[in-house]
Amino acid sequence: MPDATYVHDAFARIADRYVVTNHVLSGGMDIIWRKIVTARIRKWKPSRLLDVASGTGDLALEIQDQIPDCEVTASDFCAEMLAHAASRGIARTIVADALHLPFPDSGFDVVTVAFGLRNMADYPAALREMRRVLKPGGRLVILDFSLPEGILRRPYRWYLHHVLPKMAGALTGQKDAYEYLGGSIEQFPSGKGMTDLLETCGFGKTDATPITFGVVTIYEGTAA
C-alpha cells in the first residue's frame, strides 16, 4: 500500500494542474465517468453525502450541481488540493485523513471516493471508516482505475508505464508523481478482489461495474 507522506507531497505538487491534466490524459472520459456515478446516486435521493479523498472536488462539484437538495461535504488530507475544491464552489470542505474521519457515526446517506482509495495507506481501515460514518443502509460508491481483461491489458499497461508519465510530466513538470500511478493501479484490488474486501469491511449488496472496456470500475456496497 502507498506511503501516505509520499502521496500527500505528490498531490500537493500537482494540485495547480491536476484538473486539466486529468482531462487531457483521459481524453475527457473522466468527466463522463463522474456523470455516470452521479446519475446513479441521484436515483437514491440522498440528503447528506461525503466525498472522501475529494482532491480538487471534481466529483463533489458534479454531485452538488446535479443533486442540489443534497448537502455535499468534500474531505481530503491534502490542503493544497482541497483549496482548489473550495475555490471552485464546493460549499463544505474539510481537511481530513480518510483513516480518521472527523465525523460522527451514521451521519451520511452516501459516501463516495473517486480515484482516491487506491492512494490510501490502509484500504481496509479506510473502508471501515467510511462504513462507520454511513447510516445503516447507506451506500458507498467507489470509482477507480482497473486493469482491462483480454487483449487490451498489455497495451494499457504499456500506456500506464511509458506514455502516461511522459505526457503528465510535460503538463505538470512532475513526471515522478505519475510514474507512481501505473504501479498503484496494478497493485490495487479490482473486480471480485474489491467486492470481497468490501464485504470483509462490513458492506453488503456489493457490485462491480467495469466501464470503458474495464479501464475504470464502479464499485458499490451497502452499509450493513
3-state secondary structure 27-81: CCHHHHHHHHHHHHHHCCCCCEEEEECCCCCHHHHHHHHHCCCCEEEEEECCHHH
End-to-end Cα separation, the chain, in angstroms: 26
Residues 90-148 have pLDDT tens digits of 999 999 999 999 999 999 999 999 999 998 989 999 999 999 999 999 999 999 999 99
Residues 151-177 have pLDDT tens digits of 999 999 998 888 877 876 776 676 566
* Overall average pLDDT of the 198-216 stretch: 97
Residue of 40, 72, 50 lying closest to 135 (CA atoms): 50
Can you list the domains of the chain with their CATH numbers?
4-223 (3.40.50.150)
CA–CA gap between residue 57 and residue 3 (Å, rounded): 22
So what's the pLDDT on residue 28?
85
Mean residue pLDDT across the chain: 89
pLDDT at 73 over 80: yes
22 burial class (0-12, 13-18, 19+ CB within 10 angstroms)? Answer: buried
Residue 56 annotated as lining a ligand binding site: yes
Residue 109 annotated as lining a ligand binding site: no
Pairing of strands 216-223, 203-211: antiparallel
Do 182 and 165 contact (CB within 8 A), yes or no? yes
* Length of the chain (residues): 224
Helix, strand, coil: what percent of the chain each, to 5? 50, 25, 25
Residue 98 annotated as lining a ligand binding site: yes
Neighbours of 28 (CB within 10 A): 10
pLDDT at 197 over 90: yes
pTM: 0.90
φ, ψ of residue 50 in degrees (nearest 5): -115, 125
